[in-house]
Amino acid sequence: MMRRDQTSVRKKPSLVDLCVQKAIDNVRYLGNVGPVDHHLLERILPHCTLDQLMHVEKASKGTDLSPVTDKLWKKFFEKQFGIDCTNEAIKRMSENRVSFRWLQLYE
């Protein structure tokens, strides 16, 4: 028998961690995430499919999610159009000194 002080020490999840996990488990039901802090969205939104992320973007109208979602949209763009096309888009934006959100480029 193990004594109480010999049991393996496991870090108990915080309430925030539990809530984030619950949101990830139910990501298909997300809608307007405008009031949610970006540091939490950075943990939740990578678990979205393309359609789920598009739904969240549209439901969160009036909220700029690009600081969180731009890198996700870049991955979807790369998966859909390939690395060569992605690099070409980056090159053209650099040459023309313009910047577009990856969601815009994907659409």
- The 10 Å CB-count burial string (b at 16+, else e) for 41-53 is beebbeebeeeeb
Asked if residue 62 is part of any domain, the answer here is yes
User: Does the pLDDT at position 5 exceed 60?
Assistant: no
Residue 59 and residue 32 in contact, taking contact as beta carbons nearer than 8 Å: yes
Cα angle 67, 73, 78 (rounded to 5 degrees) comes to 135
What's residue 9's pLDDT? 77
Q: Please give the model's pTM, rounded to 2 decimal places.
A: 0.82
What are the tens digits of pLDDT across the range 42-61?
Answer: 999 999 999 999 999 999 99
Answer whether residue 31 is part of any domain: yes
Residue 46: inside a domain: yes
51 is a domain residue: yes
Domain holding 78, by residue range, is 15-105
34 and 57 Cβ atoms separated by less than 8 Å = no
Tell me whether residue 5 is in a domain: no
Number of folded domains in the chain? Answer: 1
Please give the mean pLDDT across all residues of the chain.
92
10 lies in some domain: no
